[in-house]
Amino acid sequence: MKHTIKKAAFTLGLLALPMAASAHSNHCEDTQLGEQMKSLKDSFKTYRQALSEEDWQQMAAARGDMQELAEAAADERPLKLHDLPAEQHPQMMQDYQQGLDRLNNLFNQLAEAEQTQDADTATDLVGMIGKHSKQSHESLRKDCD
């Protein structure tokens, strides 16, 4: 029963993706980091679809892609940084790196759930990743509107 409820909540979450994608697509100028985040979002969508089908191989492949993209993003600088005074740059970069570290930690936990084929834990972690991503974007993404 618990697994069925989680699948239903997961499916509802998928329905919200088109709105989130369109909000991001018209946001700011194109950057390497922006492209990486778009690819990460696509891989996250692939992961969630694979999770709903309990396709463990596809889940592992999508998670691997997400981990590579998150590692590559660590070498980038958020666009919002350009609008901040120089004295705020170190704190923002620290927050950015901590956010990526948290994301990588969640990906590692996801890998463990995949190893044991624990769909309930994977579903919980997907929710945590989505929440973390939203919170990080709210604090770190440049407001171009």
Per domain, the residue ranges of the chain are 2-23+33-140
Q: What is the DSSP letter of 54?
A: T
pLDDT value for 125: 98
**Taking CA 88 as the corner, what is the angle to CA 104 and CA 21, rounded to the nearest 5 degrees?**
50
pLDDT per residue over 104-137, tens digit each? 999 999 999 999 999 999 999 999 999 999 888 7
Confidence of residue 93 (pLDDT cuts 50, 70, 90): very high
How far apart are alpha carbons 60 and 114 in whole angstroms? 7
How far apart are alpha carbons 110 and 33 in whole angstroms? 23
pLDDT per residue over 18-77, tens digit each? 434 444 444 456 788 889 889 999 999 999 999 999 999 999 999 999 999 999 998 888
Q: Does domain 2-23+33-140 have CATH number 1.20.120.10?
A: yes
pLDDT value for 4: 53
